[in-house]
Amino acid sequence: MKNLPINLQEKLSKFQDQWSPKVIAEMNDYQFKLVKVQGDFVWHKHEDTDEVFIVIEGHLIIEFREGEVILQEGEMFVIPQNVEHKPYAEAECKMLLVEPKGVINTGQEKTEQTAENDVWI
Amino acid sequence: MKNLPINLQEKLSKFQDQWSPKVIAEMNDYQFKLVKVQGDFVWHKHEDTDEVFIVIEGHLIIEFREGEVILQEGEMFVIPQNVEHKPYAEAECKMLLVEPKGVINTGQEKTEQTAENDVWI
């Protein structure tokens, strides 16, 4: 066991690419990932799992087919399994994601925004 | 689905008791819990699961039988399954915990610090 804390800001400083989640920790079969997002993402859903977004810096709009939620810094949201959603951030937003290992960022859609999985920083 | 963000500071303002985790969200069979801690906790372990501590305010020392880890604000740590640990905070520390639903805060130990489970705020 490594007795080293995981510092979120230090990890965020290690990458600049957007919409490309980086794994910073695993708990059982779940992963904690940092991601920087800006602009529009693709409509998608995750058929097998909920996922959690926690905003560290900036703010994020998550659009649903019915309504939207706006997340400010220090706010989190659980996107339910199988619910279509589209994240959007006008300015860059930095987030912590929590979801099972193996979840594809674009869900059932394969687009140019589909990111490689299991990229650790 | 409720389109309301979960604001960590607003939730933290709703309770004052220490060592008594409050559930703020569920993702699949996992829970996100806020807790305020100060002073010494009991040595314990969780035989069936890892658990995650994320420090929101203050700092926390997690003692292990071999070594310790010190967590500052904005830092997280994954305590591995079955590893004995004892959290300690000199001043009050506010944390977000992530662990499977049903985990007992004192693990295999039943003490006066054993908290009721599934208390939502």
List, in order of start, the domains of chain B with CATH numbers: 16-100 (2.60.120.10)
Instruction: Identify the band that residue A1 occupies on the pLDDT scale cut at 50, 70 and 90.
Output: low
Whether B121 contacts chain A with CB within 8 A = no
Residue among B52, B57, B94, B121 with most chain A CBs within 10 A, to mutate: B52
The reported pLDDT for the residue numbered B99 is 96
Considering Cα of A88, then A93, then A98, then A100, what sign does the dihedral take?
positive
- CA distances A27 to A108, B18, B20, B52, Å, are 24, 25, 22, 7
Nearest to A27 among B9, B28, B50 (CB): B50
Q: How far is A36 from chain B (nearest CA, A)?
A: 17
Backbone angles phi, psi at A99, to 5 degrees: -165, 165
Whether B98 contacts chain A with CB within 8 A = yes
Instruction: Identify the band that residue B1 occupies on the pLDDT scale cut at 50, 70 and 90.
Output: low
Distance in angstroms (rounded) separating the CA atoms of residues A41 and A93: 13
Give the mean model confidence (pLDDT) for residues B54-77: 97
The reported pLDDT for the residue numbered A109 is 87
Chain B residues within 8 A of A83 when measuring between CB atoms: 1
Per DSSP (E only), the strands in B13-111 are: 22-27, 30-40, 51-57, 60-64, 68-71, 75-79, 85-100
The verdict on a CB contact (< 8 Å) between B98 and A3 is no
A2 has a pLDDT exceeding 80? no
B112 has a pLDDT exceeding 70? yes
B2 has a pLDDT exceeding 80? no
Whether B27 contacts chain A with CB within 8 A = yes
Q: Which residue of B has its CA nearest to A52?
A: B27
- ipTM of this predicted structure: 0.95
Whether A25 contacts chain B with CB within 8 A = yes
Give the mean model confidence (pLDDT) for residues A23-47: 97
Query: Please, what is the end-to-end C-alpha distance for chain B in angstroms?
Result: 18
Q: Which residues contact A9 (CB under 8 A, 6 or more apart)?
A: B74
Neighbours of B30 (CB within 10 A): 22
B25 has a pLDDT exceeding 90? yes
Query: pLDDT tens-digit profile of A45-85?
Result: 999 999 999 999 999 999 999 999 999 999 999 999 999 99
Query: pLDDT tens-digit profile of A5-16?
Result: 999 999 999 999
Residue with tokens 């010494």: B40
Buried b or exposed e, range B3-22, using 16+ CB within 10 angstroms: eebbbbeebbeeeeebbbbb
The reported pLDDT for the residue numbered A19 is 96
Whether A43 contacts chain B with CB within 8 A = no
Q: Which two three-digit tokens encode residue A114?
A: 């589909």
Give the mean model confidence (pLDDT) for residues A12-32: 98
